[in-house]
Homo-oligomer: A and B are copies of this chain.
Amino acid sequence: MEYMNTAPTSPDPGEPRWLTDEEQRVWRAYIDATTLLEDHLDRQLQRDAGMPHVYYGLLVKLAEAPERRLRMTELAMSAKITRSRLSHAVARLEKSGWVRRADCPSDKRGQFAVLTDEGMEVLSRHAPGHVEAVRQAVFGRLTPEQQKSLGEIMRIVAEGLQPSEAGADLPWLR
């Protein structure tokens, strides 16, 4: 896609504002890194713990929650995934014995996802390996300044995509 960006003109709906060469390089680096990293972590966890990275993340969220339990919707929002996806995921984790569902007394529609002892056990057993993988792939390679910068940048991007509170599924508006 070679398009020249000759004139720094004002918003022209006719000709879109393409990415500059430098922006393209950044964007491609982003895509490469995230693709590789996601794959890397998925494999590591699938091999060692028998679950993909997202599922591991769900167990972590539950482990940190009071009484190791969260309402489905809260868990979904916290993990940034849709309720549907979570529903399927929990079904699988339930089959593995790492999570169980519990009814919500105050709202009969509601369900809690509860981390079982087995689930907790799997988590502690594989946390070291996972942390090691993350450190090796990311933190072990970045300077403290870069780490700080990465945090700031990712927070900005994440906030830009969140319905910033509000509760629907994931209708990032627009």
Q: Please list the residues of chain A having a beta carbon within 8 angstroms of any beta carbon in chain B.
A: 1, 16-19, 22-23, 25-27, 29-40, 57, 60, 63-64, 79-81, 123, 127-128, 131-132, 134-139, 141-142, 146-158, 160-162, 170, 172
Contacts and interface: CB of A to CB of B under 8 A. Distances in A.
Contacts of A162: 36
Given A1-B63, A135-B17, A32 B153 contact: no
B153 A149 contact: yes
Contact of A29 (B1, B136, B154, B161): B154
Which among A79, A132, A158 has the greatest number of chain B C-beta atoms within 10 A?
Answer: A158
A25 B152 CA distance: 10
Given A29-B155, A31-B57, A154-B32, A139 B23 contact: yes
A134 B33 CA distance: 16
Task: Report which residue of A33, A63, A146, A162 has the largest number of chain B beta carbons within 10 angstroms of its beta carbon.
Answer: A33
A-B residue pairs, 4 tightest by C-beta: A16-B128, A26-B151, A29-B154, A36-B161
A129 B161 CA distance: 17
